[in-house]
């Protein structure tokens, strides 16, 4: 993973939804206070319906950042929807020779999955539009990760947790986006990985359907651990006779890997940065769960 030093350049992109410059002004000030130089995509603050720009222009911005020999990190302004429209037309040849750390969540799960296939780490973390509502300690965690000081987390136990220890690289992100990539060349390699999932605005039966897709597709037979993040504004359905978290527990009940519920990451202000693609460890005990990034 690229380690940043002062005066390094960070690419600022809006590859999905639209955003105003004012929405990210606090974040830009924060990046500059850390000593980094923001470099904006040409179409970063444009508007095209719900998107930041046309698919062609969003692809052009992203391709330029992927190809750049000066940019060391790519920070996305927001998620939304749109990366699925352009991901198949991107060329990662120059990116592989000079990789950058891609940072974001939600729709940025598409990019996380793409670079995971290349063996390149990325960071699931608050995006620039979220900085103003993100607690200071989490912003500090992002800074520490950028400069190579990897974080570790200890969180309270949950009644549905399954104890155990798992080692492996963490993969995943937004469940519905991952579901949309199933069967494509950007589907994840789950073997011996720790899977992280979260979502927003999905109905309980839709989440259950996606979970069963992972089960029937053999994903849970391959992973070494499961981290269940926040399912924000996801409507429960009493007719299913179980909560969303119980649905997760039920679909993985026959496996032996550790499961950590209620991890503070996802579509929430308390969105802990998770480093994808580096050796990590998940330890679930009776009174707590710990997640550690080891490189």
- Tokens 């444009």 -> residue: 46
pLDDT in tens, 9-36: 999 999 999 999 999 999 999 999 999 9
Domains defined along the chain, listed by start: 9-146 (3.40.50.10740), 152-293 (3.50.30.60)
pLDDT at residue 195 is higher than 80 = yes
Nearest Cα neighbor of 280 from 291, 289, 264, 271 is 291
Confidence of residue 3 (pLDDT cuts 50, 70, 90): confident
> What average pLDDT does the segment 196-223 reach?
98
State how far Cα 166 lies from the chain centre. 20
How sure is the predictor about 251, in pLDDT bands with cuts at 50, 70 and 90?
Answer: very high
pLDDT score for 151:
76
For 44-48, 136-140, 146-150, which range has the lowest pLDDT when averaged over its residues? 146-150
Q: How confident is the model at residue 211 (pLDDT cuts 50, 70, 90)?
A: very high
Residue 97 near residue 126 (C-beta atoms within 8 A): no
> Which DSSP category does 17 fall into?
B
Per this entry, what is the length of the chain?
A: 295
Predicted local distance difference test score (pLDDT) of residue 108: 98
Q: What share of the chain is helix, strand, coil (3-state, %, to 5)?
A: 35, 25, 40
The model's confidence at residue 150, banded by pLDDT at 50, 70 and 90, is confident
Among candidates 157, 172, 161, 150, which has minimal Cα distance to 266? 172
Q: What is the mean pLDDT of residues 160-178?
A: 98
Distance CA 241, CA 247 (A): 9
Interval 70-95 mean pLDDT: 97
Tokens of 9: 């350049």
Q: Is 227 exposed, middle or buried (0-12, 13-18, 19+ CB in 10 A)?
A: buried
């Amino acid at each position: 993973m690229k380690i940043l030093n002062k005066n390094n350049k960070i690419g600022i992109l809006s590859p999905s939804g639209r955003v105003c410059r004012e929405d990210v002004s606090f974040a830009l000030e924060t990046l500059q206070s850390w000593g980094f130089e923001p470099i904006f995509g040409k179409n970063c603050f444009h508007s095209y319906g719900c998107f930041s720009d046309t698919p062609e222009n969003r692809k052009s911005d992203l391709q330029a950042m992927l190809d750049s020999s000066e940019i060391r990190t790519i920070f996305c302004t927001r998620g939304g929807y749109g990366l699925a429209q352009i991901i198949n037309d991107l060329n990662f040849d120059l990116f592989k020779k000079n990789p950058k750390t891609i940072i974001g969540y939600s729709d940025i799960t598409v990019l996380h999955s793409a670079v995971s296939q290349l063996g390149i780490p990325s960071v699931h973390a608050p995006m620039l539009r979220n900085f103003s509502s993100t607690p200071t300690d989490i912003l500090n965690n992002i800074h520490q990760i950028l400069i190579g000081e990897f974080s570790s987390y200890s969180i309270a136990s949950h009644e549905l947790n399954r104890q155990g220890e798992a080692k492996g690289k963490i993969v995943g992100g937004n469940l519905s986006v991952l579901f949309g990539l199933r069967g494509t060349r950007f589907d994840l390699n789950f073997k011996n990985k720790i899977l992280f999932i979260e979502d927003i605005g999905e109905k309980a039966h839709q989440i259950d359907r996606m979970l069963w897709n992972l089960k029937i597709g053999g994903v849970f037979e391959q992973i070494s651990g499961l981290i269940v993040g926040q399912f924000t504004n996801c409507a429960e359905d009493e007719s299913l006779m179980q909560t969303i978290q119980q649905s997760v527990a039920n679909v993985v009940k026959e496996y032996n890997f550790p499961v950590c519920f209620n991890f503070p990451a996802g579509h929430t202000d308390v969105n802990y940065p998770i480093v994808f693609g580096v050796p990590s460890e998940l330890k679930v005990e009776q009174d707590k769960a710990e997640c550690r990034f080891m490189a």
